[in-house]
Amino acid sequence: MLLALASLWCLLWLIPDNTAPAQSELDLSPALVPSIAIGTCLVLAVVMAVQAVYGGRKVEAGEDHLDEEFGAEATGASRHVILNLLIWSGTACASWFLIEHVGFEPAMTLFLVVAMLFVGARNPWTITLVSLATPVVLSQAAYQFFNTALPAFWR
Q: How far apart are CA 105 and CA 131, in angstroms?
A: 9
Say if 65 falls within a structural domain: no
Looking at the structure, tell me whether residues 153 and 82 fall in a common domain. Answer: yes
Mean pLDDT of 86-107: 89
**pLDDT, greater one: 66 or 52:** 52
What pLDDT digit, counting tens, does each position of 11-27 carry?
888 888 888 887 777 77
Per residue in 118-153, is it b (16+ CB within 10 Å) or e — as a string? eeeeeeeeebeebbeeebeeebeeeeeeeeeebeee
The answer to whether residue 13 sits within a structural domain is yes
pTM of the prediction? 0.51
- 69 belongs to a structural domain: no
- Residue 152: helix, strand or coil by DSSP? strand
In the chain, how many domains are there? 2
For residue 79, name the pLDDT band (cuts at 50, 70, 90): confident
Q: Which domain holds residue 130?
A: 77-155
What is the pLDDT, as a whole number, of residue 61? 53
Q: What does pLDDT average to over the chain?
A: 82
DSSP string, 2-43: HHHHHHHHIIIIIHHHHSPPPSSTTSPPTTHHHHHHHHHHHH
Q: Which residues contact 22 (CB under 8 A, 6 or more apart)?
A: 28, 29, 30
